[in-house]
Every structure is written in C-alpha cells, then in structure tokens.
Structure 1
Amino acid sequence: MDNLNSINSFLAFPLEMIPYVVITLMIAFTIHEYAHAYVAYKFGDPTAQRQGRLTLSPLAHLDPFGTLLIFIAGFGWARPVPVNRSYFKRPRLAGVLVSVAGPLSNLVIAFLGTAIWYILLATNAVTALPEFYVNGLQDFFNIFVSLNVMLFIFNLLPFPPLDGYRIIEDLAPANIRAKMTQYESYGIIIFLILVITPLDGYIIQPIFAVGRTAVMELFHFLLGPIL
C-alpha cells in the first residue's frame, strides 16, 4: 500500500485514472497533430505528408518524453508537425489557420465527448449498466473532456513554441515578427519558468481555471436542450 501511495504522489493523475489518460492522449495528440498536417497539406505544403505525419496513427505523432511528462507534471506535448510556409500562396493566412487547427481540433473533440455523455444520460443508456461501469464511463468522459479542453487552452498561450505564439507571429507586422524571432529562445525560457516553478499556480493554473469554466459553460449552453 505504501508503494501505491508513493506512485500516486509522483503522478499528476490518480493511478486508477491512467488508462483513461492514455486513451485520451492517444486520441487528443493524434488528432491535434493530424489537424495541423491536414490544413497545411490543403494549403499546398506537402512536408508533413511526405514525412508520414498526415495520418491518424498515434505512433506517428506521440513524443515519448512529452507524453510521459503529462503523467508527471500535468502538461506535455506531441511531436510537432513540420510546416514549410514557403509553399503557401498566402503565408500569413495559411500559417494562422494551420496553427489554429490543432487547438480547435481539441475543442471540437471535447465538445463531442461532452455531447456523447449528455446523450447517454438523456436516453438513459447508462442506467441499465452496473454502477461500476457507470462510474468508469463518467470518469473516462471527465478525463477525456478535461484534458482536451486543457490542451485547447494550453496551446493557445502566447509563448513559443505553442500554437498561440505562432498565431501572433503570423499576424504581426514583418518588423515585429523579425524581433519575435530574434528573442524566441528567451520566450521559451520564460515559458518553462512559468510552467515548472510555483509561478504556475499564480499564472498558468488560473488561466486554465477561467478558460475551462468558460468552455464548459458554452458546452452546457449548447447541449442543455438535450437534457
């Protein structure tokens, strides 16, 4: 029992939730990176497709260390999709849409997860199941929705190398963009300080809390008529 408690204290999630987290990350990271690759390909960039990243296979997208960090620190990453903006006819517009596609995909599947759970409740599809299975389903959908909402918010933070930073970079005037590129390495250091030090609890976590509340209220508003 002491060993189990030690493992639980080392992880960002309870041990019994790890299977749900694994399934969620395989779906969330894969669809996120596929969305980047797909939109880039549609705008004329074949780079990701040539490197085998235009696929829904998790093996093509999961980063071992970034995935492991989710379990330990509560945040992580997949393998970034390579994008060559020189293929784009309208680089700034295409760049923004490619960057937005990843976080937006997480928002969409979080909404779908919420909708499926609402439908299961509304149709009483879970009432005939034993309580153990009902609780398991509820835990899974809670993890699935929460992690995807977190990834949506996290990736929109305006720090390199996140999608939010890339969006700002593409929207910025050329002279500002050049300065952003010049100081990007410092931005990465600042970002790491914010997420791995106690500052996380004062800056990043409040952003997550406010963002998650806003997203879930939107979901409930859109899906309320189902119940």
Structure 2
Amino acid sequence: MEDWNWIQKIAIYALPVLFAITVHEAAHGYAARYFGDRTAEMLGRLSLNPIRHIDLFGTILVPALALLLGGFLFGWAKPVPVDPRNLKQPKRDMLWVAAAGPASNLLMAIAWALLFKFSAGSESGGLMEPLSYMALAGVQINVVLMVLNLLPIPPLDGGRILISLLPVPAAQAVSRIEPFGMIILIVLIVTQALSVIMLPFIELTYSFLRFLL
C-alpha cells in the first residue's frame, strides 16, 4: 500500500474513517439517552447518519492530511452534547456514556476484521482485493481511535471514565485538567510520545482480535 497514490489511499480509508468517528459519537448519544439524557435527541444528533456528525476540519481535513503525510492518523467529529444533570446518577452513568464511544470502535474493529477474513479468503477477484484493504484500514482506524480515546486525559473518554471512578475530591482535581487536555495531547503527538504510549495497547488489541477470530 506504500506505493499507492493519495487518491487510492483516500478511497480506501474514507469510509472506515467516516464511520469510526461518527458512530463513536452517536454511541455516546444513545448511551446518554438510555441513562436519561435526551439532549442529543432533542438537537437532532441522535443519529447514525454521518452527515449530522461531520466536522469539516476534524473529520475530513485532519485525517486526510495525516494519511497523506504518513503521520499519526488523528481526527474527530462534532461532539454529541451530553448534559450530566439529566442522567439518573450523573457520576456513575457518565462512565457508561463515555465508555460507549470506545466500545463502538471495538465492535467496529471486530466487524471489519470479519469482513477482512471473508474477503481475504474469497477466491473471487474483482472487488475482493480493495475490499480487503478497506477492511484492514477499518481495523487499524478503530483500534487506534479506541486506544486513543481511552487515555486517561480529559476531555478524552478515558479521562471522563477516570473521573467517574475516582472519589469526588480526586475527580474534581482531575477535571481541572480538561481545559489543557488538547494541549497535552498535541504535545504528546509532536514529541511522538503518544505513539510510544499507545503502541503496547494497540498490539494487545490486535492480539485479542486474532484470538477472537
């Protein structure tokens, strides 16, 4: 795939990136509704329609540039609004609302892995080869996004899960990091420390998928 031109790369990665990011956000909204918050539904964001979640910069431009430059594949969609005050038990329920996004990425990674197994094992030609490449891209993107979002840095999902698990004083201390969370993340990306941190967990997830299938 290294020899492919940028049009081929974007064609292979476009659909997996789009669904990985938008389904992740929709999962937060569905989980929030389950636990009592209908904010996303009232604002028309409780949908699996990618168009409702696309952020021109984060969903299209940033992933495309990262892919073309061969850097860390990174992106985001418009965050689904969640009002913790509407949840039945805000501190406890936010854990499940936050975890729903990474969980959706794991499920999508499994689905793409099954598709790869089917397409790679098929003897028919035609679309099977590009389909297998797209399936591999889907596995890669969803595993990376899952691991990235589980980092315990607010406002990432892992940070919100950590806040839900900690006692109130410690949770309040961690929540104060949130305004600086994206700065911390950018520093980790620029210094390449993020790849070092994530790689063991990415490999562990790949091992799980191989075992599962």
TM-score band by shorter chain is 0.7 to 0.9
Aligned to 1:179: 173
Report the aligned-residue RMSD.
1.8
Bigger Cα displacement from structure 2, 64-73 vs 93-102: 64-73
TM-score normalised according to structure 1 size: 0.83
Does structure 1 residue 50 correspond to structure 2 residue 39? no
Give the match's secondary structure for 2:46.
coil
Aligned to 1:69: 62
The Cα shift of 1:189 comes to 2.0
The Cα shift of 1:187 comes to 3.4
- 1:126-154 CA-partner distances (Å, limit 9, x unpaired): 21214xx3331221111111001111111
The Cα shift of 1:46 comes to 0.6
Aligned to 1:24: 16
Contact 1:160 1:191 in 2 (8 A): no
Aligned to 2:150: 156
Contact 1:156 1:165 in 2 (8 A): yes
Give the match's secondary structure for 1:190.
helix
Contact 2:12 2:130 in 1 (8 A): no
The Cα shift of 1:31 comes to 1.1
Contact 2:29 2:40 in 1 (8 A): yes
TM-score normalised according to structure 2 size: 0.88
Contact 1:66 1:77 in 2 (8 A): yes
CA distance in 2, matches of 1:174, 1:53: 30
Percent identity, aligned pairs only, is: 35
> Which amino acid letter does the alignment assign opposite residue 75 of structure 2?
G
Bigger Cα displacement from structure 2, 112-121 vs 49-58: 112-121
- 1:184-210 CA-partner distances (Å, limit 9, x unpaired): 323332222112x2x12xx21123322
Match for residue 218 of structure 1 among 201, 208, 211: 208
Q: Gaps spanning 5+ residues in structure 1: where? A: 9-13
Alignment of 1:87-166 (within 5 A): 87-121=86-120, 124=121, 126-130=122-126, 133-166=127-160
Aligned to 2:70: none
> Which amino acid letter does the alignment assign opposite residue 20 of structure 2?
A
Aligned to 1:80: 79
Q: How many matched pairs?
A: 203
> Which amino acid letter does the alignment assign opposite residue 221 of structure 1?
F
